[in-house]
Amino acid sequence: MTRNWLSIAYALLTLPAAHAAWTIETIATNSFSPTGEPNRAVLAMRTIFVSTPIGTYIDDRIFAAYRQPNGDLMLAKPGSAGWTAEVVETAYPLTSYNSFAKNEFSLAIDSTGTPHLTNFVVNPNAPPSGFVRHLRRNAAGNGTCVNNPGWDCQVLHGGTPTDSFLKIGSSGTAHVLYSAPPLGPAYYRFLQSNGLFSSAENVAMTAKGLALDASGRPNILVRKLTTPPNSLFVRAWNGSAWVDSVPVTAVSGDLRWSSGALRACLVEAESNGTVSIRYGTLNGTTWSTTLASYVPVASPGPSTHNCSLTFKAGKAVIAYFHGVNRDLKVATRETDLNWTIETVASLGETGYYPSIGTTWQGKLRVVFSDTAGNIRIAKEQ
């Protein structure tokens, strides 16, 4: 028996979409960042096979993580009555919290459908210092998190607020990349068979992204002191050593392993006053890139022109925020020189910090935020 629980109809607030093939649902309202800016939300999706006494069915597990204005870390999931959210970790209220790091939490799902998070939590006795932690859902309710027994916690790092990136391979191993601003370094750790994380390994100056290859080995997007300005490079673990790519011109990006190679969407600040969204493939240690879209620079500028990458039927799909029109765009790669661009959401100032994924049926999902304090999800029909 094949069954997808997410295909069960449920009533949610649906807003008009700019494209007939998409519907927009609300995950949370009044959810500004602690600084009052549009909030960042992260989408995680994973297709799992669930065995029951009467057969096996396919299930798309989907979660979204975001912060409340008071800094609480929230985890939301869809249900028959809409999206419900829980407080995973209560944060020390700090008005400048989000000014330290835009990616200070990350979300992934393991092969059993269990959510994992990395998160920076402020130490109330010594703000703004605190701890980078890994959290994993504990279904038995006897977890090690002091204030939330529904989760197991491990401290990975102590210090200043930091960006972090989390991926989980097919074997269930969690990999974490994080950096300690303002000058780094970036550290890499992985979850060992004994349930504890490996020692922190200094891998570069600034962490920018993480992906796992088909063997579960890490590929990290980083910047280092010797990297040219506005350039990043990939450091890939080949089983015995880190191998560096040549630099690629970009200020941010999103890595994915697909069809036997490392792929990326890359945000490049152009000298002619635009931001280009590019798609790249790493061939050995050399990048080949193609232009997906030009985005004219406008306030709030390149820092919010992040991109998110997924694949649909073998085609690269990039979600990004258009800074002039203030809307959410999705670009699909038809050929090297041909991209189809859709406006997915355009109601008000919207499309901030998109995070994209694909269901097992090949339908796109994009989580994003707007200046009205809403966390939303766009669903391809």
**For 307-317, how does the pLDDT look when each residue is reduced to its tens digit (9 = 90+)?**
999 999 999 99
CA distance 280 to 287: 6
pLDDT for 63 equals 97
Task: Please compute the mean of the pLDDT values over residues 33-39 and round it to a whole number.
Answer: 68
- Count of CB atoms within 10 A of residue 49's CB? 12
Q: Classify the phi-psi angles of 195: left when phi > 0, otherwise alpha if psi is within -120 to 50, otherwise beta.
A: left
In the sheet where 307-312 sits, what is the strand order?
307-312, 315-322, 327-335, 338-345
Does the structure show a pLDDT above 80 at 71?
no
Domain CATH code at residue 257 = 2.120.10.30
CA distance 189 to 263: 22
CA distance 50 to 56: 5
pLDDT for 227 equals 65
Q: Are 184 and 168 in contact (CB under 8 A)?
A: no
3-class SS of residue 237:
strand
Q: Which residues contact 361 (CB under 8 A, 6 or more apart)?
A: 4, 7, 60
- Domain extent, residue 198, equals 5-380
* CA proximity to 64, closest of 8, 136, 115, 127: 115
Query: Side chain identity at 271, as an amino acid letter?
Result: S
* CA proximity to 166, closest of 112, 103, 215: 103
Per-state percent for the chain, helix, strand, coil, to nearest 5: 0, 55, 40
Q: Which residues pair with 328 in a beta bridge?
A: 321, 345
How many domains, the chain? 1
Out of 91-100, 220-229, 242-251, 294-303, the most confident range is: 242-251
| Reported confidence tier of residue 358, pLDDT bands at 50, 70, 90 | very high
